[in-house]
Every structure is written in C-alpha cells, then in structure tokens.
C-alpha cells in the first residue's frame, strides 16, 4: 500500500498530545496531557486549543459522545470531563481519591472509565452520578476500555495480564492472556465483532472472541511497544508503535506492515480513523500525524 504521512505541529511543542478521537463535528480532537488543554484540528490542519479549568489536570483519553460533546479523563485531577464543540468544559469529581482515571468509553450515552490506581471501573450516568465497581483481582491496573459488540464494556488489565468485561449491570468477567506479563494497553472493537488489543510488553497485537479465545500476532520489529489500536472499515487493525516510532497495520490475512514516522522519537500514542478515511495519531513530541492513502 502506498501511503503518505503528514505531520502538523502544535503551537507549543511541549504540550504532549496523547489521546485522540473523531468528533461529530467532523474534526479530530485530542488531549494535550502536559499542556493541560484539549485540542481540535480540522482536516486541513487548522488547530484550536481549549484550556482545562483545573490546573495540572493531565488529560489522557478522549472519546466522542452522542450529541457532539466529547468526554475525557483527567488523570491527575481525578475527574471525568465533558467539552462541547464550542469549548465549554464541565468536570465531574470521582468519589475515590487518587483513582487515576485513564481509559474512557461511551455505551448508550452512559460514560464508563477505568480507575488505574483504584483498581475499579467507573460509571457516570446521565444525571451526573458516578458508580464504581471493584475489580475481582488486586493490582489489575485497568487501562483502556471500549464498548463491545455484545453491549458490554471490555477493558485491559495492564498488570493483571487479563482482558476484563463488565456488563451494564456491573457484572465482571476476566480472561487470562496466554503470553505472561504481556502488558495489555490499547483495546478496540473490530468490524468482525471481536475484540482487539495491544500487548506493549508482549510485542503483539491480539484478537479475542466474545467467548474469550485469544489469537496473538507477533510484531516484526522487536520492542516496538504497541500502545493504541483501532479498526478501520475494512476490518484491518491499525496501531501505534511507541517504542519503534512507527504506525503498524495488521491486514485481514494476518500480514503486518509498518510505516516509519518522519519525526524521530515522535512517541506515538492514540490513533483514530478520521472522517476522511485517513489514520490520525497523536505524537507526544508535539505533533498530530495523518496517514493518507
């Protein structure tokens, strides 16, 4: 596949873009973790930034809601926040202190999030009430979370070496990963209705059926440290390689291709398929990347 990688520099290279998503307004939205901002970049590269009210909130993961709002986690501030497409921000305090909110997902207009320090899954309902669910295994370190095709929420247990599932009623199941100490992080729902996730330590991309059967695909580059994953409309899985400075693509036939990012030490993290069909990704070095075909 012939590709081109574009990179767009942020006004401040030290803001540390991390999470990224597509908004219902047709733009790409991202968190500036170190800059304490939420950013918006349109498809021609114009960037707008919005300051978060809480100082040193450390925003991480962002996702798009059902009514043009976007939701994100404030890891250090211990809050879940909402931003409108006009830039207005509302914040919600998490009951557990120092919970460390990380991943976030939306299911039927209800917000679900992981509490990486507290070993819990949180739920923020439409009335603004937060419910927390304790994980069955200590030290699981829940990271990313996604709404699955079965209506449940699926999440990675980075230190527990498991994939977890929580139903909308709060019932939790977990599934062991075959590779020991694999360090699962990113997770997404594929068009094949299976769950896909990245092993940052195991150096693999994995497919998991709803029944818990896991297939692992080793990466060609050693110590690539795959971080985030996303599925495109064709069912191919794209992922960031934080350790090798590449973007990877797992084709339906299992073949893996890798694309080098032009900027050295870009530190790619979140990625998303944009409304233009391109793959957009956040570079902690202070840029937003775009792969066009």
* Residue 227 is a catalytic residue: no
Q: Which of 269, 279, 281, 285 is catalytic?
A: 269
- Residue whose entry in the numeric block shows the structure tokens 């320090």: 117
Contact 274, 22 (CB under 8 A): yes
* Residue 146: alpha-carbon gap to chain centroid: 8
- Which active-site residues does the annotation give? 269
């Amino acid at each position: 596949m012939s590709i081109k990688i574009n990179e767009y520099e942020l006004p401040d290279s030290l803001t540390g873009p991390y999470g990224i998503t597509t908004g219902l307004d047709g733009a790409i939205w991202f968190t500036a973790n170190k800059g304490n901002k939420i950013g918006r970049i349109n498809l021609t590269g114009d960037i707008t930034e919005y300051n978060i009210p809480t100082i040193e909130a450390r925003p991480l993961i962002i996702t798009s809601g059902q009514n043009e709002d976007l939701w994100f986690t404030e890891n250090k501030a211990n809050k879940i926040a909402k931003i409108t497409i006009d830039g207005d921000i509302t914040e919600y305090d998490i009951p557990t202190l120092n919970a460390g909110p990380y991943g976030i997902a939306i299911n039927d207009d209800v917000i679900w999030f992981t509490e990486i320090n507290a070993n819990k899954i949180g739920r923020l309902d439409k009335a603004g009430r937060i419910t927390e669910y304790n994980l069955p295994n200590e030290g699981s370190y829940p990271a990313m979370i996604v709404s699955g095709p079965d209506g449940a929420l699926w999440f990675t247990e980075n230190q527990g070496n498991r994939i977890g599932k929580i139903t909308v009623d709060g019932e939790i199941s977990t599934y062991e990963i075959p590779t020991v100490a694999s360090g699962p992080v990113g997770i997404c729902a594929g068009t094949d209705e299976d769950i896909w996730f990245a092993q940052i330590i195991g150096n693999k991309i994995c497919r998991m059926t709803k029944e818990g059967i896991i297939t692992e695909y080793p990466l060609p580059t050693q110590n690539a440290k795959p971080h985030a994953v996303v599925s495109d409309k064709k069912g191919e899985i794209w992922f960031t390689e934080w350790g090798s400075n590449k973007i990877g693509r797992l084709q339906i036939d299992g073949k893996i291709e890798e694309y080098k990012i032009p900027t050295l030490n870009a530190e790619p993290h979140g990625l998303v398929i944009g409304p233009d069909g391109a793959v957009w990704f956040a570079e902690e070095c202070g840029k937003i990347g775009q792969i066009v075909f």
